């Protein structure tokens, strides 16, 4: 069998355009709930500048790592993953600008600072969506290969998938007033209950994944091994993500430690469901 | 088999190759290709746009953040027009914040007064007036503002 010939320019361009269309759709699917949340517009306007910069800088390694584990371009190096990250950002920024303009959240009277803040904030979830959708296609011949490469099954890759899932559900609710309100309404007893509920829900997903069609990567693992390596580590990551999101959205400002902890526990619930489900779904 | 992949097969002059073969072969074949050779030039262009967006955004935000001392909103209210409606006289205004801080819950009041006393007061609260931005709105009066002195003022705000 002869070595595979180089695809022509036209094939590459068409493949890329299809990838762009998918990324555009992915960006909108992922970010639409946030694009239609008024807190996100307000936060985009008055978010602290350094928090926005940190958010943008966190995005680049996150997307690069996501591109790396998505695995369809198996032998391309980190430069290609980095390129994919910036492609996702460009598409996401364009998609969010278009949507916010159609919604009239951004119009011609919007100042540049305002528009940049709102678009940059929304680009965070949108580019994750773009990356997830884009990599389903680019690099393959147009048909999706469901045989997952080994790269996805490394422990760090599984944790990255959990982080992505936690961000997906967490970003939807983190900017809203309800996170703080719920933490005010719930007493300490309910909060501890919610932690236990989150851990149980996470572990149920971990367990379900482990025994789905005889998952080959972790044969004969015990309950405690799974619980410690995935559920507990996952929940710890989820807590950190919750704290980071609340800080980014300015929900921790002026709050005491116990208030912040309550809000983090509330936010950790959707994040933990997202984290655990991501390994199953993504 | 989708029409697309069959076309791709023809292009590679391997019409006999089944899709399954192709799929298995792909990883090792791709190992031989030089880096960058399988990337559309438009991908590089889009990636460059993304890079410029990121650098531009971070640069602009950092420049703004470093260049500005903590500040307060500077709000001016400008009368645009008065429209007579069945519900009263609508005084359209433009609120402009030329400062570098955002005002939240900005209260704006309009007063109609003659030479001796205030005849009527109307107030609204603007949710947000971001830095270097403007918003428009209307205050509604029962009396015709044309017959009185109209004063439009911003009264107060909270930090967002």
ipTM of predicted complex = 0.77
- DSSP letter assigned to residue B102: -
Chain A, 4 to 33: residues with Cβ < 8 Å from chain B are 4-9, 11-13, 15-17, 19-20
Q: Which domain holds residue A245?
A: 154-282
Of the three residues A122, A147, A172, the one that is the final residue of a domain is A147
Given a cut of 50, is residue B7 above it in pLDDT?
no
Q: Say whether both B129 and B56 belong to one domain.
A: no
* Chain A residues in contact with B26 (beta carbon < 8 A): 4
Q: Say whether both A208 and A170 belong to one domain.
A: yes
pLDDT in tens, A16-52: 888 889 999 999 999 999 999 999 999 998 888 899 9
Contact A16 B40 (CB under 8 A): yes
Contact B43 A42 (CB under 8 A): no
Which residues of chain A are modeled with pLDDT < 70? 1-6, 71-76, 135-152, 211-221
pLDDT, mean of residues B56-66:
87
Is residue A152 packed enough to be buried (19+ CB in 10 Å), middle (13-18) or exposed (0-12)? Answer: middle
Residues 6+ apart with CB under 8 A from A14: none
CA gap B47, A83 in Å, rounded: 6
B125, containing H or E segment: strand B118-129
Q: Say whether both A191 and A137 belong to one domain.
A: no
Q: How many domains does chain A have?
A: 2
Q: How many domains does chain B have?
A: 2
Given a cut of 50, is residue B31 above it in pLDDT?
no
Q: Which domain holds residue B99?
A: 75-158
Q: Say whether both A123 and A67 belong to one domain.
A: yes
Is B72 at the interface with chain A, CB within 8 A? no
Is A53 at the interface with chain B, CB within 8 A? yes
For the residues of B56-100, what is the DSSP string, one character each?
HHHHHHHHHHHH-------EEEEEEEEEEETTEEEEEEEEEE-SS
Given a cut of 50, is residue B21 above it in pLDDT?
no
**pLDDT number for residue B91:** 95
Angle at alpha carbon of residue A188, lines to A186 and A191, rounded to 5°: 65
Q: Say whether both A244 and A136 belong to one domain.
A: no
pLDDT, mean of residues B47-52:
92
Contact A76 B37 (CB under 8 A): no
Of the three residues A147, A164, A181, the one that is the final residue of a domain is A147
Lay out the sheet containing B133-141: strands in order across: B75-85, B88-97, B133-141
> What is the DSSP pairing of strand B88-97 with strand B118-129?
unpaired
Q: Say whether both A105 and A167 belong to one domain.
A: no
What residue in B sits closest to A116 (Cα-Cα)?
A: B57
Residues 6+ apart with CB under 8 A from B130: A45, A46, A111, A113, A114, B97, B102
Q: Which residue has the higher pLDDT, B134 or A194?
A: A194
pTM equals: 0.77
CA gap A206, A229 in Å, rounded: 10
pLDDT in tens, A79-118: 888 999 999 999 999 999 999 999 999 998 888 888 999 9
Q: Say whether both A62 and A98 belong to one domain.
A: yes
């Amino acid at each position: 069998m002869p070595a595979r010939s180089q695809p022509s320019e036209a094939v590459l361009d068409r493949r890329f355009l299809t990838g762009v269309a998918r990324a555009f759709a992915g960006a909108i699917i992922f970010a639409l709930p946030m694009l239609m949340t008024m807190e996100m517009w307000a936060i985009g306007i008055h978010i602290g500048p350094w928090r926005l910069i940190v958010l943008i800088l966190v995005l680049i390694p996150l997307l690069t790592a996501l591109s790396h584990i998505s695995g369809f371009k198996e032998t391309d190096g980190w430069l290609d993953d980095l390129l994919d990250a910036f492609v996702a950002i460009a598409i996401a920024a364009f998609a969010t600008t278009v949507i916010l303009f159609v919604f009239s959240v951004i119009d011609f009277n919007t100042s540049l600072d305002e528009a940049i803040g709102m678009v940059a904030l929304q680009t965070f979830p949108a580019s994750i969506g773009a990356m997830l959708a884009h990599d389903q296609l680019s690099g393959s011949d147009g048909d999706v290969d469901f045989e997952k490469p080994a790269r996805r099954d490394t422990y760090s890759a599984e944790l990255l998938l959990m982080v992505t899932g936690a961000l997906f559900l967490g970003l939807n609710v983190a900017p809203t007033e309800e996170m703080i309100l719920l933490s005010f309404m719930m007493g300490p007893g309910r909060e501890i209950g919610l932690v236990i509920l989150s851990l149980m829900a996470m572990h149920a997903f971990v367990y379900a994944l482990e025994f789905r069609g005889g998952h080959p990567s972790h044969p004969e693992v015990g309950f405690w091994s799974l619980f410690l390596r995935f559920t507990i580590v996952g929940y710890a990551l989820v807590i950190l993500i919750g704290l980071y999101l609340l800080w980014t959205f300015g929900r921790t400002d002026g709050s005491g430690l116990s208030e912040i902890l309550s809000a983090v526990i509330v936010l950790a619930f959707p994040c933990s469901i997202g984290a655990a489900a991501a390994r199953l779904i993504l | 088999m989708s029409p697309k992949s069959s076309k791709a097969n023809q292009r590679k002059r391997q019409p006999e190759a089944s899709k399954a073969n192709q799929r298995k072969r792909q990883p090792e074949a791709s190992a031989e290709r030089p880096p960058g050779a399988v990337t559309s030039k438009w991908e590089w262009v889009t990636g460059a746009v993304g890079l410029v967006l990121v650098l531009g955004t971070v640069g602009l935000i950092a420049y703004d953040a470093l260049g500005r001392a903590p500040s307060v909103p500077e709000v001016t209210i400008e009368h645009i027009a008065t429209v007579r409606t069945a519900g009263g006289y609508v005084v359209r205004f433009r609120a402009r914040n030329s400062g570098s801080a955002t005002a939240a819950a900005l209260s704006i009041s309009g007063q109609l007064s003659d030479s001796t006393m205030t005849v009527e007061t109307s107030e609204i609260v603007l949710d947000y007036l971001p830095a270097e931005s403007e918003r428009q709105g209307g205050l509604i009066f029962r009396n015709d503002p044309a017959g009185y002195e109209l004063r439009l003022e911003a009264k107060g705000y909270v930090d967002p």
